Amino acid sequence: MIKKEDRRVERTKETLRQTFKILVKEKGYSHVKVKDIVEKANYNRTTFYVHYESKDELAADVIHREMVDFEYEFCKPTRENPLLDLTRMKPEGTDVFQYIVENRDYYDLLVMEDRIPHIQEQLLKKIQYIFQNRMSFVSDQYAEINDSYFVQYRSYGIFGFIIEWIRNDYNASPSEMARRIINLLYIQSSLMIQLKNEEAIMKR
């Protein structure tokens, strides 16, 4: 009985989340009211407030769930080994861009003018978290310079790639985007080795 109840609750919340995303896309975040959500979802306000205290809490839940799934997809290439060797990484081994396309009902919201507050910032923070905690690169072990700079460099680079891709209506295929990101990361990692070598020369 408890499991059936849990499934019913989750179905209701999922309907509210999906309805919310549709309305934000149609009207912009600031123009969406709880009244709009429950009417379109065919619920009443009481049902909404059983699950969420406000529109902002619903928005936070939408972002949180999406970022959990994004992290899972982004980290697939390192599921077995958190140390990435970019010379061996293939575009077809990276599913995150296909995932973004399949979930564009969320990712389209990132580039709206009247978007959900902090939706872009949460994506950037998630990418930063991944590079700080979930993966590293073969070349990192050779670098004694401040690695936090390269975490930011990689994070902002990939974040910018994704945002521009969405703004351009996903004008490159997921596999092409994966290839570009691998090349970007490879160049950055090569730069780390180059800087380390230059640092060693200067110390002589």
Mention every residue, 6+ apart, whose C-beta is less than 8 A from residue 114: 28, 29, 30, 31
Which domains can be identified in the chain, with CATH numbers? Answer: 1-52 (1.10.10), 61-203 (1.10.357.10)
Is the pTM higher than 0.85? The answer reads: no
* Range in 60-64, 88-92, 133-137 the model is least confident about: 88-92
Work out the percent of the chain whose per-residue pLDDT is above 90: 58
Q: What is the residue-wise DSSP string for 59-109?
A: HHHHHHHHHHHHHHHHTGGGSS-SEE-TTT--GGG--HHHHHHHTHHHHGG
